[in-house]
């Protein structure tokens, strides 16, 4: 196992986001931090997201690069309301969870709900399909007021 993020970052070993994902995938995937849960050739699909965000990203390093400045945009303080639905035969887990924090730029609260459909093979995440509430991102960013 390898650490890819600093422990105190949003995706690090001490981060609330990593903890809720780790809890949801317990016994199926493990890693030292969020990125270590991912296979080298993981595929991410962002089905419901925000304008300008990629719809599909392939490869762990590309995910690390995509999330590289996340800590300068949002600070995640907590994650909760985890619901886990597992289909062990298909190696698929559906995670429902909420993430709470604030925007670094605006100081506005960030409260978002996610549904992540995760496929796991040989202890690593190979496919991740993400659904989120884009309005929560806009609210935290101060949009559309910040565009005026």
Domain extents for the chain?
16-140
Nearest to 35 by CA among 65, 56, 79, 78: 65
Under CATH, which number does the domain 16-140 receive?
Answer: 3.10.450.50
Residue 82 has pLDDT above 90, yes or no: yes
Give residue-wise pLDDT tens across range 9-54.
766 767 898 899 999 999 999 888 888 999 999 999 999 888 888 9
Residues across the chain: 148
Q: pLDDT tens digits, residue range 120-144?
A: 999 999 999 999 999 999 999 898 7
Question: What are the DSSP E strand ranges found in the chain?
Answer: 38-48, 56-58, 74-87, 92-103, 109-121, 124-132
Q: Is residue 148's pLDDT more than 70? A: no
Q: pTM to 2 decimals?
A: 0.87
């Amino acid at each position: 196992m390898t650490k890819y993020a600093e422990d105190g970052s949003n995706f690090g070993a001490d981060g609330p986001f990593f903890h809720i994902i780790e809890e949801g995938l317990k016994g199926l995937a493990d890693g030292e931090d969020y990125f270590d849960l991912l296979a080298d050739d993981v595929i991410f699909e962002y089905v419901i997201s925000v304008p300008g965000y990629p719809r599909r990203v392939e490869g762990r390093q590309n995910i690390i690069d995509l999330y590289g400045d996340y800590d300068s945009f949002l600070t995640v303080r907590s994650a909760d309301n985890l619901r886990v639905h597992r289909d062990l035969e298909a190696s698929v887990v559906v995670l429902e969870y909420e993430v709470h924090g604030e925007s670094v730029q605006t100081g506005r609260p960030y409260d978002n709900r996610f549904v992540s459909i995760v496929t796991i093979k040989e202890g690593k995440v190979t496919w991740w399909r993400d659904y989120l509430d884009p309005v929560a991102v806009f609210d935290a960013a101060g949009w559309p007021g910040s565009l005026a």
